[in-house]
Amino acid sequence: MSDFALELEDITVTFTSAHAPGQRYNAVADTTLRIRAGEFVSVVGPTGCGKSTLLNIAAGLLQPSAGAVTVFGQPLAGVNRRAGYMFQSDALMPWRSAIANVMVGLQYRGVPDDAARAQAQAWLERVGLAGFGDRYPHQLSGGMRKRTALAQVLALDPDIILMDEPFSALDVQTRQLMENEVLELWAAGGGQRARKAVLFITHDLDEAIAMSDRVVVLSAGPATRPIGEFEIDLPRPRDVAEVRAHPRFIELHSQVWAVLRDEVLKGYAQQLKKAA
């Protein structure tokens, strides 16, 4: 079996320009990104550079214009069924209670209702929402909705978790609590099974370093590609707030920032140009 949970090889993604339909736009160019089974990898890059596009490729929601995607050694065809996703915005169904939201994926897989309810309840407990199963999304705080979404993903026991800035809408304290919880759940693995591979998209360098085994830096678009890769050799378990004071964290931060800084400035200038 392949050592890699996910391999994106020589990926190029070409879009038709939204402003000028005749024009083609290379969002991502010749990008190779491999994630080992059980590895936590963050991808950082300036705004609009193509991070979500890469995640959508990994999820099988978008076909690359060139290149190949391999999941545990098998070419990916259609949606990536070994992966669970957590996006920036809530994907909870407002008309379903928290437990019913966690149950839905299990039911869709054919798990009988009673078993699905028991598994969903166990996951709600693991994410700290034991007594909140009957609440509807609008009755939950932002952090609780994120916990529900996390339970929803983990209940399906995916081998790969794809996260696209999942905590960016949360206040700093809630965000750090959630980051620590994700790390704990990830470190504990999926019950009998091995640790999950995580592809985590963020524009927050501190978050990327605090959480990951490896940080990949993307260039500003167009034709985004990886321009730096850093092994994060900080000890685990980590507390995302405390680890920021670690001398090695500070050292890694300045090394990654040295690569990222110019790209952020380029990305920012491009956003201004687009808005003009």
Ligand X SMILES: Nc1ncnc2c1ncn2[C@@H]1O[C@H](COP(=O)(O)OP(=O)(O)OP(=O)(O)O)[C@@H](O)[C@H]1O
**How far is residue 231's CA from residue 104's CA, in Å, rounded to a whole number?**
37
Q: Determine how many CB atoms are found less than 10 A away from the CB of residue 21.
A: 8
Edge-to-edge order in the sheet of strand 24-36: 24-36, 4-16, 66-71, 74-75
Q: Closer CB to ligand X, residue 89 or residue 139? A: 89
In the complex, least distance from residue 91 CB atom to ligand X, rounded to whole angstroms: 16
205's tokens: 């360098």
Closer by beta carbon to ligand X, 27 or else 76: 27
Q: Which residues of 139-152 are buried (b: 16+ CB within 10 A; e: fewer)?
A: ebeebbbbbbbbbb
User: Please, which residue, 27 or 151, has the CB nearer to ligand X?
Assistant: 27
> C-beta of 47: minimal distance to ligand X in Å?
4
* Cα distance between residue 154 and residue 255, in whole Å: 33
- As measured in angstroms, the least distance from the Cβ of 53 to ligand X is 3
Smaller CB separation from ligand X, 85 or 123: 85
Min CB(17)–ligand X separation in Å? 7
Whether residue 148 contacts residue 137, with contact meaning beta carbons closer than 8 Å, is answered with yes
- State the minimum distance, in angstroms, from the CB of residue 23 to ligand X: 10
Beta carbon nearer to ligand X, 54 or 99: 54
Dist. CA 224–CA 240, nearest whole Å: 28
C-beta separation of 142 from 170 below 8 A = yes
Site of interaction with ligand X (CB under 6 A)? 15, 18, 27, 45, 47-53, 203, 221
Q: How far is the CB of 207 from ligand X (least distance, A)?
A: 13
Phi, psi angles (nearest 5°) of residue 244:
-65, -20
Q: Which is nearer to ligand X, 97 or 202 (CB)?
A: 202
